[in-house]
Amino acid sequence: LMDRLSQALVSLDRSQGRVAVLFVDLDDFKVINDSLGHEAGDRVLVEVARRLSRISRRGDTVARFGGDEFVLLCSTLRDDDDLRLIASRAVRAIGERFVHAGNDLTVTGSIGVVVTDDPSTSPSVLLQQADIAMYEAKSAGRDGFRFFDAELRARTATNHDFDAALYKAIENREL
């Protein structure tokens, strides 16, 4: 994933375009593992990967990032409408009916989306921003997607500054 993301960003040097990262986290996945066992959880992960691969475009990359997290890397995007369409398809595909051992499972995902046209963007920063947007999607009620935008960037910076000031105040016994 990191190699493909790096290559996609480098390609922005040669031709105009945009690269997007969709960070997918399955909602309440732990409940499936805890109630039905890890075999059921593993089957869900395989099925989600298959569904994400099915809705992705030919040049896109689908990767399991870890645990119940997936990343969909998209390049050659025309506009935000393309990206909204891909994110909507991903949400719908994850939420399709899933049956394991006669049990209907409700599987949903929260997706954070970040897009760039800057070839100097760090792959790890893109993943971090997509992760932040994913948590915003979870906070907004789950089973949806959220873009990392200027408002979210500003709020993240404000939160970081507040956390740093609080840590410093604790360290200096100023509370």
What is the rounded distance in angstroms from the CA atom of residue 70 to the CA atom of residue 173?
42
∠ CA(120), CA(124), CA(126), 5° rounding?
A: 70
143 is catalytic: no
Question: Among 25, 68, 131, 143, which one carries the catalytic annotation?
Answer: 68
Contact 111, 91 (CB under 8 A): yes
Longest dimension (CA), the chain: 59
b/e per residue 136-171 (b: at least 16 CB within 10 A): bbbeeeebbbbbbeeebeeebeeeeeeeeeeeeeee
* Catalytically active residues, by annotation: 68
